[in-house]
């Protein structure tokens, strides 16, 4: 997959109605509405000169990087990974474009993925009383598994629904996540692994809203929002995402599920959801640390040895 394919994937997402408040790449006027209204989520914009599109009838506008960063990422740090990804082709953007005919086959591939997922969710909802989706972008450690167990107590089926697409460097690859989550599907009888082709933006609270709409339009009824949902480099305070989702709950048809996250309790000697025991000696399991162990092919105490072996292979 080439780096520009992100925008073809976004185009398919837009045309299939995955995002509320926009059906096409944004113009400047609509972008300003996103600035003002956090409940609209993350704005999908198209840089100039992306090979997949015809720009003959396009209109162009420039995006102020600092303004965008403050309004959308809640930071003035232009080196934040979300900013570097969004502006990697410059700050000139376009709308009123069309897809080049030679890329229709690729476009259809991504469209079929979305239609397939909607059909799978429809079948699951007919078979089971309640189904919950969970976004995950990492190979799971035992902290994640504590969250899985928390959700399985509430729902008949938990769908691990990672986003496949262009990501920042050092993120787990789609192949690694796929292998790890297929293992989790075998480990837990009521877990299903169903990935969706979309894009990651590292926009924290804004992206939690964005993900709510995405799962709502895939026809899920419930979606789990993590305590540091879609953030990077620890720029968002814990629960900023969950608080923003709760604040805007009347905007969604889908319902959010939250927790205080999975930890290891040194007293209970087990992995659990924070607040589910009375103890305070809780170890926060670091996904970054786990990734370092995996990259060095060293055993990590706080993750399933079998899933580590799968990634090492």
The whole-number pLDDT of residue 288 equals: 83
Structure tokens at 204: 């924290």
141 Cβ contact list (under 8 Å, min separation 6)? 285, 287, 290, 300, 302, 303
Do 5-105 and 128-312 agree at the fold level?
Answer: no
Helices (H), the chain: 5-15, 28-36, 65-68, 81-86, 104-127, 142-152, 174-187, 204-217, 240-247, 287-295, 305-312
3-class secondary structure for 197-212? ECCCCCCHHHHHHHHH
CATH no., domain 128-312: 3.40.50.620
CA-based nearest residue to 256, from 285, 229, 286, 287? 229
Predicted confidence at residue 237, as pLDDT, reads 85
The number of residues in the chain equals 313
* Segments in 62-171 forming alpha helices (H): 65-68, 81-86, 104-127, 142-152
Give pairs for 172-176: CB < 8 Å, separation 24+: 172/137, 172/138, 172/139, 172/291, 176/139, 176/311
First-last CA distance in the chain: 22
Q: Where are the domains of the chain?
A: 5-105, 128-312
Look up residue 276 and give its DSSP letter. Answer: S
Q: Cα separation of 152 and 147, whole Å?
A: 9
- pLDDT at site 206: 94
Residue 273 contacts by C-beta under 8 Å, 6 or more apart in sequence? 146, 147, 150, 259, 260, 261, 262, 263
pLDDT truncated to tens, each residue of the chain (313 aa)?
Answer: 789 999 999 999 999 999 999 999 999 999 999 999 999 999 999 999 999 999 999 999 999 999 999 999 999 999 999 999 999 999 999 999 999 999 999 999 999 999 999 999 999 999 998 999 999 988 999 999 999 999 999 999 999 999 998 777 777 888 999 999 999 999 999 999 999 999 999 999 999 999 999 999 999 999 999 877 766 777 888 788 889 999 999 999 999 999 988 999 999 999 999 999 999 889 999 888 999 999 999 999 999 999 999 998 8
Burial status of residue 64 (CB atoms within 10 A of its CB: 0-12, 13-18, 19 or more): exposed
> For the structural domain made of 5-105, what CATH number should be given?
3.10.400.10
Where b means 16+ CB within 10 Å and e means fewer, 66-102 reads eebbebbbbbeeeebbbbebbbeeeeebbbebebeee
| 131 C-beta neighbours (distance < 10 Å), count | 20
Query: Do residues 112 and 261 touch, judged by C-beta distance below 8 A?
Result: no
How many other C-beta atoms can be found within 10 angstroms of the C-beta atom of residue 231?
A: 24
């Amino acid at each position: 997959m080439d780096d520009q394919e992100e925008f073809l994937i976004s185009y398919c997402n837009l045309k299939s109605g995955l995002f509320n408040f926009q059906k096409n790449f944004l113009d400047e006027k609509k972008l300003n509405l996103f600035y003002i209204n956090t409940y609209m989520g993350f704005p999908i914009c198209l840089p100039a000169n992306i090979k997949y599109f015809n720009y003959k009838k396009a209109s162009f506008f420039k995006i102020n990087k600092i303004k965008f960063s403050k309004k959308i990422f809640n930071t003035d740090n232009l080196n934040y990974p979300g900013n570097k990804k969004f502006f990697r082709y410059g700050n000139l953007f376009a709308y009123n474009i069309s897809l080049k005919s030679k890329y229709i086959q690729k476009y259809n591939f991504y469209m079929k993925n979305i239609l397939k997922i909607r059909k799978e969710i429809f079948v699951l909802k007919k078979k089971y009383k309640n189904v919950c989706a969970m976004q995950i972008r990492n190979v799971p450690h035992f902290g994640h598994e504590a969250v899985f167990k928390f959700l399985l107590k509430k729902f008949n089926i938990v769908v691990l629904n990672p986003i496949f697409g262009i990501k920042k460097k050092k993120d787990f690859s789609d192949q690694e996540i796929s292998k790890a989550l297929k293992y989790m599907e075998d480990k837990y009888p009521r877990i299903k692994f169903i990935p969706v082709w979309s894009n990651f933006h590292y926009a924290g609270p804004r992206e939690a809203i964005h993900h709510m709409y995405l799962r709502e339009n895939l026809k899920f009824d419930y979606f789990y929002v993590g305590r540091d949902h879609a953030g990077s480099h620890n720029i968002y305070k814990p629960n900023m995402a969950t608080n923003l989702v709760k604040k805007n709950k009347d905007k969604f048809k889908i319902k959010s599920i939250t927790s205080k996250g999975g930890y290891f309790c040194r007293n209970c000697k087990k992995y659990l959801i924070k607040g589910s025991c009375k103890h305070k000696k809780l170890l926060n399991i670091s996904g970054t640390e786990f990734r370092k162990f995996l990259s060095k092919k060293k055993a990590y105490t706080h993750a399933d040895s079998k899933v580590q072996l799968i990634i090492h292979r």
